[in-house]
Structure 1
Amino acid sequence: MARTKQTGIRTEKDGSYRVDAKYRGQRLFKRGFSLYQEAEQWLMEAKIGISRLDSEQRIPVTLDQAAARYVKEKGKINSPSLKNDISMLKPAIAVIGSLTLDEINNETVKPFIDFRLKQRLKKKTINYTIGLIRTICNLAADEWRFENGLTWLEKAPKITLLDEDDKRPPRPITWNEQEKILQQLPEHLRNMVLFDLNTGLREDVVCSLRWDWELKINLHPNLPVSVFVIPRVNVKGRKSERIVVCNSVAQSIVESQRGLHAEAVFTYWRPRKGEDKVDLKHQPVNFINNTAWQKGVKRAGVEDLHVHDLRHTVGMRLRLTEVGERTQDVILWHSNKSMNSHYAIAQLREIYDALEGIARPGHEEETLNLHAMIRQAQIRAVGKVTQKSRSNKKAA
């Protein structure tokens, strides 16, 4: 970008102008000026605003600048959502980042919403970014202040969230579907999926499971059970540690994995002609939702299945076996004010017994899966099945 005659005003590649200057220790930044004179006028007015701080004048602050402060403050407290927040804010900054905070409202945010809808993103995803913008505006109106004591924004705008009418319903699977899926997966994914269907863990926790998190506890006479204590850094929200109690099926999978890798519980290996399995180095698995998973569920006839639906399946099966709601919450790590991080042997035994009740098909014959029917109706209406993909997904 070429520097123009006025210090702090630059020409963009598309011919527009942006202001990026410092005045009395304050950064002045704004994009999207179609004329040089407009940029110059804005810069002059901003400088006048700084000069009038003592007379209670606010400096115009852009969404770009405010977002930068938000990210910086989140980084200082090592927020678990920081990486996701940055990813969600980037498209908004690209489209409406040059707006000053007092210019933000439903109408001025609409170009960003339209841009994301054209990318065929779910409204829940778009709402996440809108929520971040609302949070930034609230901080600017309540907490962030200039040297003269004035807040960055006089009053936070009311930005309406989208109606999430495109929300995908849960899609738990039947025992028959489970058998078909497992038959179509490679061994390492089959073990991970079956483990997930017997513990209800999130995908990232299954993939990150480590041997040094394991404890062996006798929950019943002559029945040592693996209990994994998950560090809170690996728990969504990072509020506290959580536990994973293995039922008989999960335990058998753990034992089959033992000794394959020094740290990771779940691994994969790529055999080559003439080489034996034990001679190859096992590598940790980063995702369940990779190419092998997507091809496998397609061959099994459940192309619309997401990995997170395995967790929904556990919840459904626990309810069918009449497991208490509080025990369900503990197993699925649902937030509950009555829960604590101290577990007695009796409680671990209760969790084990509940999970053992879903280890194999019960007496109830699953002849109807309402969620699956709803999902199939949606597929017929849309005419296309979508699977969440990863840019770095690996063939397995």
Structure 2
Amino acid sequence: MASFFERKDADGNRIGWQAKVRKQGFPAQSKTFRTKAEAQAWAKAVETDMERGQWRDRSETEATTLGQLIERYLREITPEKKGAAQEVSHCQAILNHDISKCSVATIYSKDTSKYRDDRLRLVSPSTVNRELNILSHAFTVAAQDWGMVLPSGNPILHTRRPKVQDRRDRRLHGDEELRLLEAAEWAEQQDNSMPIARLIRFALETAMRRGEIAAMRWEHINSSKRVLMVPETKTGEARQVPLSSIAVQVLQSLPRHISGKAWGPLHEASLSRAFARACKRAGIEDLRFHDLRHEATSRLFEKGLNPMQVASITGHKTLQMLKRYTHLRAEDLAKLLG
């Protein structure tokens, strides 16, 4: 049975209507609306769902904003992920958007589509897709683990994803490597806390990812066998990376930190910024630290290693994935042909 009550402010002016629904076997439900017609429509829908056995308590969903949902996600879910640091920054972008102020119960695909379009004006499609992935997982966790009722289901499932066309084939050309290392060595002399020149050399010799390099520990290095164990990788599988003589020399030049990390307290974002400054000083455009992985992988092929050997070093799981990171120069292949 539904009942309706006027809601008034301190001056006695009507500010809305409160609807209350009481039905045996169900918890009492109440909600306030601007007009009585809206209150009556809501009460009728609730009663109908109860009669059909389709009613579910949406009070928590209605009382929770997306911002509050993301903050809980950051506390309970994000810390368990390998890429927690990167996910925090993506979650912050969501929290800074107006969609975070909306009740979870009122968010539909039109709202997440607007979020997508707003973000595409500021960041790349791949970044937007990462943020949509986080939103999708947050909605799924809320429904499956936290018992929140999503009226329209997971809205991200009905949100068109932006097309990502950011595959890169950037390699070092001409004297770029020499100029880059000279600029990086100058930077090291100015601030030895960031051994950017040695980081560049090591990346070119190992084809390792930025995060893998930052996480290296001394106990994972077998100096006698010249092998580095990478226990945690992007693919979830550990691998062993053979170390060239140059890579060994770089490691031997590093001081031993109490933390046990080979590169000390190295943060990926700081590494990227230092690399960007070195590129700017060297007059090199459109080069990222991750491009060194492309360069190193291609050089492994140019040294004559077969795909299986290269994959064991780089950690690529399929030949197709390996192909994305490999860009051989036609002139170098011509030399192999004789």
TM-score category of the 2 structures, normalised to the smaller one: 0.5 to 0.7
Partner residue of 2:244 out of 243, 247, 265: 247
Distance 1:255 1:195 in 2: 12
CA-to-aligned-CA distance 1:114-134 (integer Å, 9 cap, x gap): 33133x200111112223334
The alpha carbon displacement at 1:161 in A equals: 0.3
> Taking structure 2 as the reference length, what is the TM-score of the superposition?
0.65
- Secondary structure class of the residue paired with 1:179: helix
> Taking structure 1 as the reference length, what is the TM-score of the superposition?
0.57
Distance 1:182 1:159 in 2: 45
The alpha carbon displacement at 1:52 in A equals: 6.6
- Return closer, same or farther for 1:190/1:228 CA change in 2, 3 Å cut-off: same
Residue 181 of structure 1 aligns with which residue?
Answer: 180
What count of residue pairs does the alignment treat as equivalent? 282
Partner residue of 2:111 out of 104, 108, 113: 108
Structure having the larger proportion of residues in helix: 2
- Return closer, same or farther for 1:366/1:310 CA change in 2, 3 Å cut-off: farther
How do 1:58-207 and structure 2 match up within 5 A?
Answer: 58-60=56-58, 61=61, 64=66, 67=70, 74=77, 78-93=80-95, 94-97=97-100, 98-100=102-104, 103-105=107-109, 107-118=110-121, 120-137=122-139, 143=144, 152-153=150-151, 155-156=153-154, 157-165=157-165, 167=166, 169-174=168-173, 176-186=175-185, 187=188, 188-207=195-214
For the pair 1:289 / 2:272, whether they are aligned, the reply is: yes
Residue 20 of structure 2 aligns with which residue?
Answer: none
Residue 227 of structure 2 aligns with which residue?
Answer: 227
How do 1:12-31 and structure 2 match up within 5 A?
Answer: none
- Secondary structure class of the residue paired with 1:302: coil
Q: Higher relative CO (CA 8 A, sep ≥ 6), structure 1 or 2? A: 1
The one-letter amino acid paired with 2:237 is S
For the pair 1:299 / 2:273, whether they are aligned, the reply is: no
- 8 Å Cα contact 1:137-1:153 kept in structure 2: no
How do 1:40-55 and structure 2 match up within 5 A?
Answer: 45=42, 49=46, 55=53
**Structure 2: which 5+ runs fail to align?**
1-6, 8-25, 189-194, 320-330
- 8 Å Cα contact 2:171-2:291 kept in structure 1: yes
For the pair 1:214 / 2:221, whether they are aligned, the reply is: yes
Partner residue of 1:236 out of 229, 234, 237: 234
The alpha carbon displacement at 1:183 in A equals: 1.2
Distance 1:247 1:255 in 2: 12
The alpha carbon displacement at 1:318 in A equals: 1.9
The one-letter amino acid paired with 1:130 is L
Distance 1:140 1:114 in 2: 24
- Return closer, same or farther for 1:231/1:365 CA change in 2, 3 Å cut-off: closer
For the pair 1:57 / 2:55, whether they are aligned, the reply is: yes
The alpha carbon displacement at 1:86 in A equals: 4.5
- Return closer, same or farther for 1:58/1:178 CA change in 2, 3 Å cut-off: same
For the pair 1:330 / 2:312, whether they are aligned, the reply is: yes
The one-letter amino acid paired with 2:180 is I
Distance 1:253 1:82 in 2: 29
- Return closer, same or farther for 1:108/1:288 CA change in 2, 3 Å cut-off: closer
The alpha carbon displacement at 1:58 in A equals: 3.3
Residue 315 of structure 1 aligns with which residue?
Answer: 297
- Secondary structure class of the residue paired with 1:196: helix
The alpha carbon displacement at 1:252 in A equals: 1.7
The alpha carbon displacement at 1:246 in A equals: 0.6
CA-to-aligned-CA distance 1:244-263 (integer Å, 9 cap, x gap): 22111111222222x55453
The alpha carbon displacement at 1:328 in A equals: 1.8
Cα RMSD after superposing both structures: 4.6
- 8 Å Cα contact 1:202-1:308 kept in structure 2: yes
- 8 Å Cα contact 1:145-1:152 kept in structure 2: no
